[in-house]
Every structure is written in structure tokens, then in C-alpha cells.
């Protein structure tokens, strides 16, 4: 997994944090990646995560070795903590996260099929389907994502599983309506590249959430 700096972190923490909290029901999703700015990013995020008392936090770990992050950020008791399947040892990370009293999520890249991860689904609390290649904002939504979501929905029904289905990448007002079978939808660049409040309201209207 290549090193990168997630621009959305800077955008939210430095410019839009108050708006983000106000418009997203006190849920704050944080992306951690490895980059030369890692210490700077962690300093900013530590201030947000440890000093602000949010109702919900969700940690998405885009790192090769998530152990130190799991240990550090389990202290704030996020609702979910997600790692990437492709780094290997999925059961090790699932067990470690859940041992902290946190729900364990696993992310899959566009090249990873649902078939590859079926043996792990009974142990997971959340599956994150990346609808773009992780690491760079502003990419175009991959149509192949719809099939993966449908496969996960059918698996849940067939085996009576309760894991949440999440999708992240390239989501905007023109495609969000097609993702209603997902429990969690992450939107980044579409919001940060426009007027924050206007973009949020546009998405709510697309999902018939005008009153929430």
C-alpha cells in the first residue's frame, strides 16, 4: 500500500471541523495513512479525537501495520476501527480490535473480490467496499462496486449475518441514491470541493433526509 497524505484530513481538521460535526450527527471518521507528514497529521488528529467529546468516532486505518494505531486510538473508544484486508493477517487485527471493545471493520480494494473474504465475514462487524483505489481523493466511482455490494447484501441474508456494509470513494449527488443498500456512505471530495453546507444538504435531499 503506497504512502500518501490524505488531503481530507487537513480539510476537515483545519477548515471544516465545526461544520463537519454539526452536519454529520456527531460522527467523525478519521483516515490514517503513512506519509512524511505522519507525525503532523497525528498531532492534529490527537487534538480533535482526545480533546473533543464526540458521540461517535470511526477510525479507518490505511497503514501496513495497524497495531500501534489500534493500541493508541482504542483509548478514545471509537465505535468502529477498520483495517485493510490486503495488509494480511485479518483475523489477528479483527481479534485485537474486538478485544478492546471496539467493532472491527475490514476494507477491500477494488481488485479484491467478495469471494476472497467470505471466510472472514462471520467475524466482522463491518465491511468497507472501496469504490476507488485508496489513497487519493477525487477519483471516479467504479461501477464494479455495485456488484460487490449486492453480493454482500445477499450473503447477509443467506447466512443471517449482521455486519454493516460501507462504501467509500467517488460518491456524489448523482450516484448516492444507488447506494441505499449500504449502511454507511462516506463522501469526501464532493463536499470539500464545494460549499460545505450546500453540498451536505444536496446529499440529504438525494437520500430523502431533508428532515434529519
Instruction: Express each pLDDT in 101-152 by its tens digit.
Output: 999 999 999 999 999 999 999 999 999 999 999 877 778 999 999 999 999 9
Looking at residues 154-174, what average pLDDT do you find?
Answer: 94
Q: What is the pLDDT of residue 76?
A: 81
H/E stretch holding 82 reads: strand 80-84
**Do residues 128 and 106 make contact, with C-beta atoms less than 8 angstroms apart?**
yes
Placement of cell 456488484 in the chain? 147
Q: Distance between CA 153 and CA 101 in Å, rounded? A: 25
* Per-residue confidence band for 68, with pLDDT thresholds at 50, 70 and 90: confident
The pLDDT mean for the chain works out to 79
Instruction: Express each pLDDT in 20-40 by its tens digit.
Output: 444 444 344 545 444 444 555
Q: What is the pLDDT of residue 50?
A: 58
Looking at residues 177-194, what average pLDDT do you find?
Answer: 87
Q: Give the closest residue to 12 by CA, choosing from 51, 35, 39, 41.
A: 41
Q: Give the closest residue to 88 by CA, choosing from 57, 122, 112, 115.
A: 112
Q: Distance between CA 194 and CA 202 in Å, rounded? A: 11
Amino acid at each position: 500500500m503506497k504512502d500518501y497524505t490524505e488531503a481530507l484530513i487537513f480539510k476537515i481538521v483545519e477548515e471544516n471541523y465545526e461544520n463537519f460535526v454539526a452536519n454529520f450527527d456527531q460522527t467523525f471518521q478519521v483516515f490514517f495513512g503513512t506519509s512524511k507528514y505522519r507525525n503532523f497529521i497525528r498531532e492534529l488528529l490527537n487534538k480533535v479525537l482526545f480533546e473533543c467529546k464526540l458521540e461517535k468516532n470511526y477510525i479507518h486505518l490505511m497503514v501496513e501495520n495497524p497495531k500501534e494505531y489500534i493500541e493508541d486510538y482504542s483509548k478514545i473508544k471509537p465505535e468502529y476501527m477498520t483495517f485493510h484486508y490486503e495488509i494480511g493477517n485479518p483475523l489477528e487485527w479483527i481479534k485485537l480490535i474486538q478485544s478492546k471493545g471496539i467493532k472491527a471493520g475490514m476494507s477491500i480494494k477494488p481488485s479484491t473480490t467478495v469471494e476472497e473474504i467470505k471466510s472472514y465475514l462471520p467475524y466482522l462487524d463491518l465491511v468497507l467496499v472501496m469504490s476507488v483505489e485508496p489513497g487519493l481523493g477525487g477519483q471516479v466511482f467504479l461501477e464494479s462496486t455495485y456488484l460487490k455490494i449486492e453480493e454482500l447484501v445477499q450473503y447477509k441474508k443467506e447466512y443471517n449475518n449482521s455486519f454493516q456494509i460501507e462504501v467509500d470513494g467517488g460518491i456524489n449527488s448523482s450516484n448516492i441514491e444507488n447506494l441505499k443498500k449500504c449502511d454507511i456512505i462516506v463522501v469526501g471530495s464532493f463536499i470539500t470541493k464545494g460549499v460545505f453546507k450546500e453540498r451536505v444538504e444536496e446529499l440529504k435531499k438525494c437520500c430523502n433526509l431533508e428532515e434529519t
